[in-house]
Amino acid sequence: MKIAIVIPPSPYMTSDTAFPSLGPLYFASYSRKEGHNVKVFDLTGEKNYIEKYALLLKKNSPDCVGFTSTTPDIPYVVKLFKETKKISKNILTLIGGHHATIIPKSLSRFDKVIIGDGFLSADKIINSKEKFIKNEISDIKNILMPARDLINVKKYNYKINGFPATSLISHLGCPYKCAFCCGRALDYYSKLRFRDPKSVVEEMDYLNKTYGYRAFMFYDDEFNADKNYSMSLALMLTKRKYLWRAPMRANLLDEESVKLFKKSGCVEMTVGVESGSDRVLKLASKGTTTETNTKARKLALKYGIRFKAFIVVGLPFSTRKDEELTERWIEENKPDDIDVTPNTPYPSTPQYENPEKYKLKFKYDFFKENISFKYDPKKIKVFCENSFLTKREIKEITLRLLKKYKI
């Protein structure tokens, strides 16, 4: 079968060509292994993406088109779906990704909806009599590598310490229950599943040999979610000369691990500091405190690892005083970089599912506009107000911090 897999654009972001979307490339690998003729239509960075897609569709005449989508990308994917059916109603349309996994019934216009992993064959989907197809594999130790050869990797532009970098994953899942994070009630997203550390290093070696990469971004929820695993992987990386960056959870960092991370090539950690108010952190079920965040910052400073703090403005029950405490934490701890975003309830986050409990007000249609917490600072939008701060106030605070810290 001729299968086209579509990576949609994300024009609301500063750049949608920092890292390639790996989910569709995993699906491509498994479909190709079965003998299907697979193409990837990568529409990131394309201003006239509908026209480009229509040309690719007519040129390649696929039997099946598979889409991936996060919630913010839904408006663009729906337009691509309509263009597909406009060109040929006989093309089988599939959709997977985060939005399909979280609220599959909202995507019933597609012929098949994949819930869960993209590590599966096209045959399983095509031959299934079901419209909604669940797929979750418990063992991801030795999954196939994403089919990066089906895209132009040089189209993507991200650097670490001045070196071109790309992304990969070492594991899936996060067991924590933050009120603002997706899938906390779903076992699929909460359960930790790890790759074999050896296969992770082999993928890095492949990317180095094939494309010349020596710098990498681990696109995990929390690189250090399991100390034994992250230490094992880092120990293997001490035998390489790679540079890497990863998200870390502050309360799981200690001197032993940070020292090894540095030795293995870690040059930057991104940490969800979120707020400088212990009250807000507790009410948002973050599981960290300002003290643990400060200790993590000091450890990074001691071992010469850059520390990027992720900050969320307008979390449940946050007041202007709490936002001032966040700014004070930034001033006192001086992270090397910060990322500031307004609180945005996504489907399947505890705060979205129970707004009364968190005293939040929001109303939007994710089919009509891209609902994202992460925007180009010049295009920032606020969709939610809490019991103390209006949307206008949240936007003002966010923009002020972005300007003050020159983000």
pLDDT digits (tens, 9 = 90+) for 165-191: 999 999 999 999 999 999 888 888 999
Report the CATH fold assignment for 158-404: pyruvate-formate lyase- activating enzyme (3.80.30)
**Delimiting residues of CATH 3.40.50.2000 domain(s) in the chain:** 2-135
Checking DSSP bridges between strand 37-42 and strand 2-7, what pairing results, if any?
parallel
Report the CATH fold assignment for 2-135: Rossmann fold (3.40.50)
Query: Residue 120's pLDDT is what?
Result: 82
Residue 290 in tokens: 């300002």
202: pLDDT strictly greater than 90: yes
Q: Across-strand partners of 128?
A: none
**Delimiting residues of CATH 3.80.30.20 domain(s) in the chain:** 158-404
406: pLDDT strictly greater than 80: no
pLDDT digits (tens, 9 = 90+) for 325-380: 999 999 999 999 999 999 999 999 999 999 999 999 999 999 999 898 787 777 88
Work out the pLDDT band at 289, boundaries 50, 70, 90: very high
pLDDT digits (tens, 9 = 90+) for 66-90: 999 999 999 999 999 999 999 999 9
* Mean of all residue pLDDT scores within the chain: 95
Instruction: Please give the C-alpha separations between residue 352 and each of 116, 119, 183, 343, in angstroms, as whole numbers.
Output: 20, 29, 11, 11
Q: What percent of the chain has pLDDT over 90?
A: 91
Question: Do the beta carbons of residue 223 and residue 172 sit within 8 Å?
Answer: no
Q: Supply the Cα-derived Rg of the chain in whole angstroms.
A: 21
pLDDT digits (tens, 9 = 90+) for 297-328: 999 999 999 999 999 999 999 999 999 999 99
Burial class (CB in 10 A: 0-12, 13-18, 19+), 49: buried
How many whole angstroms separate alpha carbon 263 and alpha carbon 177? 31
407: pLDDT strictly greater than 70: no
Q: Across-strand partners of 95?
A: 67, 113
